[in-house]
Structure 1
């Protein structure tokens, strides 16, 4: 199977270089291309892509997706310009492992939608890597006690399936778009496969404030998707448990003064606030 790799781009230099280097080290023996879908409309990026030393090895191309802001639009434009029938997505600031594309393409022969795990150790300071928990690489992530998902930075889909479900929902410009896409594909009757070998090194945000804003956005968007698909979510009694953990890790206590503990607290607190905010905004219990 041949493959097209789509990267949604916005103000991603010089970090994009790390991802392109990782793609150039893939052990995949087949034909593939890499499409950088430019949601910024950057001439600097276009010149960077046109002159990149690995452009022939990667089949590297630039496409303009600056007409509508958002990752979903960039992925749609990139996908619709692809020449191959299997589409895989990764992000501009991460780094796919060497066997990533081989594993994704192999799984794409058996499933309509595939995805793999993330790891935080390769690209992050150990303190920052401890802020946000990741699931067991052997298991798919299941949100709201509904259906499994994979992240937009590590997702593969057959082009025919992408077309059948009308691509990424651009009313979800960033947060929640991958959850919505995965659930829409599966509820349309297509199959999902988790691929533990398709590992991606995931880069965390390093500021406490930006980490807080990110997790709040995630939780609010997840509440919207849960409402849209009628996902059962967690029971109401999770709220006091979550709140108790937030209080127990609060940086006012001496055992939570370290930057490692403050980061964990920010992530847990932001998740709780986002769930409450999303529950109110979308009139759904998403706790």
Structure 2
């Protein structure tokens, strides 16, 4: 049974926003996001922190080229541990703002994104924007994943809502009270775990529908399959950590129906548009299977 978000609480308007961008080998993609941030219409004070997670390309140098076009932009090194949560935590530690706003290097913020995130940050401890899916070349990829709901935050595993890490804001004092992101999560469940932990600690989470982040869909099967596998593995990790807090179990009957449906959908592999969706769903299920073994929980 899902739990409803807690009532929103009036909070002070942010005095300084810190936009934190975790990045690894993102030199080719990062300029698009930085250019989008340069077009923000937010009138308040803000800064940009790029956390370089041990890149082997020119990610850091690429980011610094934008220092004269973005407010107080700086790059922090985060090579100690590979993973998006380590990069997020490293960036947050050096941030000076009273509100942290996280986004990804391979997406692009719409002009009103930061303004909408700031406005919502005055209503709740955590906020999440809307990830609008887009592709640059392969239009078939738009159907490979189910888009997030437009009128609300997504709910994972029929339990609690969460904000996607590509558009997630949190009060800085709350971030530190929670101990930041759990760095044992990598490739799936990372932002879900953070939001759920916050909600279970009685912090509030609000949706900012006007904070639209253009979320770049994976357009090739290899990256798509790796992403889906990570998400499935992450679900099992979440099941291990939150089943004692009321996360509903996945019944054997439900798991069996899901795998049977996947087998029945095998003919989709002959259709170019639907093949990607089948591959995504299959990789996701295999990730759950692996996670069930790894974390010793039933999450099939």
TM-score (norm 2): 0.88
Matched, 1:242 2:258: yes
Residue among 64, 67, 70 paired with 1:50: 64
What are the superposed Cα offsets for residues 23-52 of structure 1, whole Å, 9 maximum, x if unpaired?
111111111111111112568333323332
Structure 2: 5+ residue runs without aligned partners?
Answer: 1-13
Structure-1 separation of matches of 2:251 and 2:289:
13
1:266, distance to aligned residue in structure 2 (A): 0.3
Residue among 120, 124, 128 paired with 2:133: 120
1:123, distance to aligned residue in structure 2 (A): 4.2
- Contact 1:122/1:201 (8 A) holds in 2: no
What are the superposed Cα offsets for residues 93-126 of structure 1, whole Å, 9 maximum, x if unpaired?
0111111111111111110011122122354632
- Contact 2:126/2:206 (8 A) holds in 1: yes
Structure-2 separation of matches of 1:248 and 1:97:
40
Change (3 A) 1:103 1:277: same
- Contact 2:135/2:217 (8 A) holds in 1: no
What corresponds to 1:84 in structure 2?
97
Structure-2 separation of matches of 1:97 and 1:244:
41
- Contact 1:111/1:192 (8 A) holds in 2: yes
What are the superposed Cα offsets for residues 41-87 of structure 1, whole Å, 9 maximum, x if unpaired?
568333323332x6343322111111222211111111111111000
Pairing of 1:105-254 with structure 2 (within 5 A): 105-121=118-134, 123=136, 125-230=138-243, 231-250=247-266, 253=267
CA RMSD of aligned residues (A): 1.9
TM-score (norm 1): 0.92
Change (3 A) 1:43 1:238: closer
1:187, distance to aligned residue in structure 2 (A): 1.1
Change (3 A) 1:233 1:196: farther
- Contact 1:7/1:90 (8 A) holds in 2: yes
Structure 1: 5+ residue runs without aligned partners?
Answer: none
What corresponds to 1:23 in structure 2?
37
What corresponds to 2:11 in structure 1?
none
Change (3 A) 1:157 1:241: same
1:232, distance to aligned residue in structure 2 (A): 0.8
Change (3 A) 1:264 1:42: closer
Structure-1 separation of matches of 2:151 and 2:249:
23
What corresponds to 2:289 in structure 1?
276
Residue among 256, 274, 277 paired with 1:261: 274
Change (3 A) 1:240 1:42: closer
Structure-2 separation of matches of 1:114 and 1:124:
31
